[in-house]
Chains A and B, each alone.
Chain A
């Protein structure tokens, strides 16, 4: 036994050396920071990858490569053939989809990213107006690393709550949930800049419609809760009672921030189905034009009413639009499923019901305070 042990101890180090594994040394790999998918011309898909490499001149350079193949891994192999460094996806931050692709079906792309253990569940996803390749390949004057830039752009807007958040986890959550459809931001190139231009609505894995960037505020209010955020609204003449409206103008522009919003959905009738949507918003007014005396409780009340009216009008419009295209991005179906017992809801079944759904929107708006100068 003792002798055996001695041999064993001698053998261990050799065995360990044999157990060496493939390394991914940070400066020896090309880190993909962003991937864009398009419909390919010859093969099924075209992939445009933004890859960050480090070279010995203490500088990192960014490569944008487009390859075509039938699978995403095939595209990775193809890209590998063109680069001096191994391509890894562990630091990927953003996935973009071309509009044509998004209108086809995203299921494969969601699954392939979920399957890969090295892909973060927190990566952002977005749809590009047109194709992704031109957006990424364009040589922007002031943007050095387009992958980093788009990530920061989306992250910043999501953190500030200007745009809906669409991480891989949330997309997959909505995609695999019966009562909710997914939504993603839309981005496009605007001259020398990249811009978030709207919200894409999906039905199942297909993009069916889009909303403007301004509407993303309302989408957010109905989808989630707000904590910060900034919004500007134009109150038309018909919304505002004439008491506070000055003669010269026929509309009021108002901007508010520090918004706390809370939404509550209630199913009032399971057969139709019919929902009550109560939204409570508390906020701080930043600017009003033309000037309204916010020290006067009466005019504040009137202003609040006007905003409420305006908002519910907008929300109704957006929900109606989503019903038209059968895309329940707000999660009414989720509520339906959780309240109605033995509903046996499926996605198709819900889309049928969603078309005929009735929603009673009620907005309550409270102005908490204004600035330091009255």
Chain B
């Protein structure tokens, strides 16, 4: 029962192939007037198009605010005014900017123009010089807000592709770091970078990923999250199959593990794939802590996942159907706390969950300061009032709060959202068919997870297929000397991270 994907990934690049080709073959006009006219019509005569003539026969065309004014003034205009030249070759020598190319195609000229280049046309020559002096406004580097950690670097990606890549290059100083530039989006022409380590990353996987990206036929791409959803294996699944991160250290760690990374210009989140289910519960901080503590934290997070998903349903099932399983000591407080509640437990639980989700959503949409207040005030006031009004029982309130708290422990926000969502169907199943319903949901989720793949690699790895070596760094984290092998999830070309050495015990 394979569901059809909503957008066709394999659609070949047939669209407008022929007219485009013709268009791209249009040559640059010989005379300045013709040239200006053709540029204007190609760019729909925008208001910020600036055309500047410099004697004797030079015309500069650029788009305001896309080019760096200082470079334009100091390195181009000043040079041209000081030593007037007449041939493109001579001008190329005169101008002191690093990136300058010659072109005789109109299409290419227009594309560089909107990208932030200055176009220099010399009357009488069927060529233009394109000097790239683009400037991009971007936010300064700051700490990653969604993936903060106590111990570790405090820098996150920002929205500029070049900055992000330079950040990564700072971590991985190696010529083997491959950076492939791709453009997608017929209208947005978004630049994306595909990064991987040559000699580690599996070629087949790189090809698959490249293929998936180039096969996309979309007209806009504004964020990497959109891209991730479109290129992952099963877009219909609620579980994400690729990781989005804003931490360069995490990104580099993944790249060095043989994974592939995708960075989208204009997005502060990078995509990492292939990604296994358990890896979503890892935090980069685990690498920075001692292994015992990291293991404890990882187990805690997984326990929190189960607690968050199954605690409320368990309560609903026990109170609705299986009163036999409630221990005697717990029986009286539980039944007395529910004595006033007029609703069946399932409704009570759904109501409270709904309130919690409302608070969360409101908190996320409001400015930070108000958001926090809303969370606290809403939590305390609504909670207390609901219990006093007899709408909910206070024991359920504790359980719901606990499971909401547990869902925040997931280091990946995407996975946290999944936990938030899948709780609801399970509560409903528990409210209708008790433990049987919970078990149905459990089996369904298990099978669903088993069916997923991430870039063709099994999603439930390293548990299924069982790979003992990989388990050393999955739910638990063994000491670093024992984790010399790269995870086989990525089928790396070079399996060893380092020469496995004996564990260094304490020297006596």
Q: Chain A residues in contact with chain B, CB under 8 A?
A: 5, 16, 19-21, 23-27, 29, 31, 52, 54-60, 88, 90-91, 93, 118, 120, 151
Contacts and interface: CB of A to CB of B under 8 A. Distances in A.
Contact of A88 (B319, B320, B323): B323
Contacts of A91: 323-324, 326, 328, 331
Contact of A26 (B1, B328, B335, B340): B335
B328 A60 contact: no
B54 interface: no
A124 to B, nearest CB: 12
A84 to B, nearest CB: 13
Given A26-B338, A31-B331, 16 more contacts: A23-B321, A24-B322, A25-B320, A25-B344, A26-B335, A27-B339, A31-B323, A54-B338, A55-B339, A58-B336, A58-B340, A59-B336, A60-B332, A88-B323, A91-B326, A91-B331
Contacts of B331: 26, 31, 91
A23 B320 contact: yes
A5 B2 CA distance: 12
B324 A54 contact: no
Nearest to A119: B324
Contacts of A23: 320-321, 344
Contacts of A118: 324
B339 A58 contact: yes
B345 interface: yes
Interface of B: 1, 319-324, 326, 328, 331-332, 334-336, 338-341, 344-345, 390, 432-433
A47 to B, nearest CB: 20
Given A54-B335, A59-B336, A60-B332, A27 B324 contact: no
B339 A56 contact: yes
A24 B432 contact: no
B324 A120 contact: yes
A20 B339 contact: no
Contacts, number: 66
9 contacts: A23-B321, A24-B320, A26-B335, A31-B323, A31-B335, A54-B338, A56-B390, A91-B328, A118-B324
A57 B339 CA distance: 7
Contacts of B433: 19, 21
B336 A54 contact: yes
B54 to A, nearest CB: 66
A26 B334 contact: yes
B319 to A, nearest CB: 5
A54 B323 contact: no
Given A25-B320, A26-B319, A54 B328 contact: no
Nearest to A22: B321
Given A93-B328, A120-B324, A54 B339 contact: yes
Nearest to A23: B320
Nearest to B344: A25
- What 8 pairs between A and B have smallest CB-CB spacing? A90-B324, A27-B338, A54-B335, A54-B339, A26-B319, A26-B323, A27-B335, A26-B335
A260 B262 CA distance: 70
B281 to A, nearest CB: 32
A88 B322 CA distance: 11
Contacts of A57: 339
B340 A24 contact: no
Nearest to A29: B323
Contacts of A151: 328
A118 B339 CA distance: 23
A56 B340 contact: yes
Contacts of A55: 339
Contacts of B324: 90-91, 118, 120
A24 B339 contact: no
A31 B334 CA distance: 13
Given A26-B338, A27-B338, A54-B339, A90 B328 contact: no
A20 B323 contact: no
Given A54-B339, A59-B336, A26 B344 contact: no
A120 to B, nearest CB: 7
A50 to B, nearest CB: 14
Given A23-B344, A25-B345, A90 B323 contact: yes
A60 B338 contact: no
A31 B339 CA distance: 14
A83 to B, nearest CB: 15
Nearest to B343: A25
A37 B193 CA distance: 81
A25 B319 contact: yes
Nearest to A16: B432
A59 B339 CA distance: 8
A60 B432 contact: no
Contacts of B335: 26-27, 31, 54, 60
A24 B328 contact: no
A24 B322 CA distance: 7
B316 to A, nearest CB: 10
A197 B336 CA distance: 34
A322 to B, nearest CB: 34
Interface centre among A25, A26, A55, A56 (most CB of B within 10 A): A26
Contacts of A25: 319-320, 344-345
Contact of B336 (A19, A24, A31, A60): A60
Nearest to B436: A21
A71 B338 CA distance: 33
A151 B328 CA distance: 11
Contacts of B341: 27
B471 to A, nearest CB: 38
A93 to B, nearest CB: 7
A228 B390 CA distance: 47
Contacts of A19: 432-433
A24 to B, nearest CB: 6
Nearest to B432: A20
A118 B319 CA distance: 15
B326 A26 contact: yes
Contacts of A24: 320-323
Q: Considering residues A16, A27, A29, A91, which has the most beta carbons from chain B within 10 angstroms of its beta carbon? A: A27
A19 B322 CA distance: 18
A57 B335 CA distance: 12
Contacts of B345: 25
B236 to A, nearest CB: 13
Which of A5, A25, A120 has the largest number of chain B CB atoms within 10 A? Answer: A25
